[in-house]
């Protein structure tokens, strides 16, 4: 149980859950009727979901391998930083996840899916690997761009195209819901990229990581994140109100209104000086991320 728990923490479960919910939600966007949610649909979903999760584990695991010393300061409870897993085990898990992801991507016969895996592999590697041309996490703009490209663009376009073209066998055409999902997730991915560094200022300063939180200060970055999310929710309410379907309009407008209100109330209560409070709020942001993917299929 000890090793299983260490593996669970090594996979960074909040990111894995984000991948599962995101890919599933986007895969529903091409569906035009309940009849299309068939065994063929679920098989296509699994062909996308499993390699995507494996690639997610590769990316977060690789980051932990190269960040052991930083994590001893910023995230001492992570399994490599705490010593629950040794470096050899971490490398084995990362390589195994990468091989499985690529193997299933090739076997799927889906060019959009395999392309998404290749780009995720490159960006995830460039983000973490300590090499003169890489280690993009040292640079705030490049670090944010990696996360935004994967979470906001690749997930929406690649997995939608996989379901639309390779599973449902229809010509590729991007709908209002896909455009909305991509736009909204650009805001959200930017917030995740910015917010994840707010609790880690001490360690990042020590190891020369020039995050926005190091350069601008925690408070300014925090309220920038809140402003970005409130802007995104305002756009979502406007888009939802333009729907011709009464029930979809109610769900999207009311749903986003509630999320925006909850976000604002929680932000006002936060103690920006408390690392535990900031970390807890970061996990709250991920819950808002999950909730958004539950609403996206209603945008038509």
Rounded to two decimals, the pTM is 0.86
- Give me the mean pLDDT over the 128-152 stretch: 82
Same domain, 194 and 105: no
Going 208 to 210 to 215 to 218, the CA torsion angle's sign is negative
Same domain, 134 and 279: no
Model confidence band, residue 113 (pLDDT cutoffs 50, 70, 90):
very high
* Encoded tokens for 250: 């109610």
Same domain, 210 and 257: yes
- Give me the mean pLDDT over the 39-59 stretch: 94
Task: Please report the pLDDT score of residue 151 as a whole number.
Answer: 84
Nearest to 157 by CA among 256, 29, 283, 268: 29
Backbone angles phi, psi at 210, to 5 degrees: -90, 65
Same domain, 155 and 179: no
Same domain, 41 and 182: no
Which of residues 108, 140, 171 is at a domain's end?
171
Give the separation between CA 103 and CA 91, rounded to whole angstroms.
Answer: 18
Structure-model confidence comparison of residues 276 and 253, the more confident one: 253
Give the separation between CA 268 and CA 137, rounded to whole angstroms.
Answer: 29
Same domain, 240 and 134: no
* Encoded tokens for 249: 């309009």
Compute CA distances 262 → 97, 258, 275, 295, whole Å: 37, 6, 21, 16
118 Cα distance to chain centroid: 17
Which of residues 113, 144, 171 is at a domain's end?
171
CB distance 89 to 28 below 8 Å:
no
Same domain, 202 and 158: no
Query: Which of 102-111, 208-217, 275-284, 287-296 is predicted with the least confidence, judged by mean pLDDT?
Result: 208-217
Query: Which of 24-33, 96-105, 211-220 is predicted with the least confidence, judged by mean pLDDT?
Result: 211-220
3-state SS, residue 23: helix
The DSSP call for residue 136 is: G
Model confidence band, residue 228 (pLDDT cutoffs 50, 70, 90):
very high
Task: Please report the pLDDT score of residue 194 as a whole number.
Answer: 82
Give the separation between CA 279 and CA 259, rounded to whole angstroms.
Answer: 19
- Give me the mean pLDDT over the 200-226 stretch: 72
Total structural domains in the chain?
2
Tell me the pLDDT tens digit for each residue of 160-178: 999 999 998 888 888 888 8
Check whether 202 has a pLDDT greater than 70: no
Which of residues 143, 171, 199 is at a domain's end?
171
* Encoded tokens for 99: 């091989």
Task: Please report the pLDDT score of residue 206 as a whole number.
Answer: 56
Task: Please report the pLDDT score of residue 173 as a whole number.
Answer: 84
Same domain, 44 and 119: yes
Tell me, what CATH number does 103's domain have? Answer: 1.10.357.140
Give the separation between CA 279 and CA 18, rounded to whole angstroms.
Answer: 17
Same domain, 98 and 221: no
Same domain, 150 and 204: no
Task: Please report the pLDDT score of residue 208 as a whole number.
Answer: 66
Nearest to 71 by CA among 24, 137, 17: 137
Same domain, 93 and 55: yes
**Domain limits at 40?**
1-171
Same domain, 217 and 141: no
């Amino acid at each position: 149980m000890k090793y299983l728990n260490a593996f669970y923490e090594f996979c960074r479960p909040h990111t894995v859950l984000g991948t599962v919910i995101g890919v599933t939600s986007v895969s529903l966007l091409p569906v035009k009727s309940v009849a299309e949610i068939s065994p063929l649909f679920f098989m296509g979903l699994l062909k996308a979901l499993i390699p995507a999760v494996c690639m997610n584990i590769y990316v977060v695991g690789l980051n932990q391998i190269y960040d052991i010393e930083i994590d001893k300061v910023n995230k001492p409870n992570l399994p490599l930083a705490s010593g629950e897993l040794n470096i050899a085990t971490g490398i084995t898990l990362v390589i195994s996840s990468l091989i499985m992801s690529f193997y299933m991507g090739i076997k799927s016969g889906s060019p959009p899916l395999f392309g998404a895996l290749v780009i995720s592999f490159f960006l995830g590697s460039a983000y973490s690997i300590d090499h003169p041309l890489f280690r993009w996490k040292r640079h705030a703009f490049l670090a944010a761009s990696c996360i935004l490209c994967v979470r906001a663009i690749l997930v929406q376009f690649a997995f939608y195209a996989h379901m639309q073209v390779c599973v449902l066998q229809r010509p590729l055409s991007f709908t209002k819901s896909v455009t909305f999902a991509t736009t909204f997730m650009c805001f959200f991915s930017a917030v995740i990229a910015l917010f994840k560094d707010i609790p880690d200022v001490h360690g990042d300063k020590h190891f020369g990581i020039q995050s926005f939180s190091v350069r601008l200060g925690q408070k300014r970055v925090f309220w920038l994140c809140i402003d970005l999310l409130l802007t995104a929710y305002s756009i979502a309410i406007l888009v939802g109100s333009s729907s011709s379907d009464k029930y979809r309009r109610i769900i999207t407008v009311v749903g986003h209104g509630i999320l925006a209100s909850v976000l604002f109330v929680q932000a006002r209560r936060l103690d920006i000086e408390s690392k535990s409070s900031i970390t807890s709020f970061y996990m709250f942001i991920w819950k808002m991320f999950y909730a958004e993917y539950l609403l996206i299929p209603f945008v038509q």
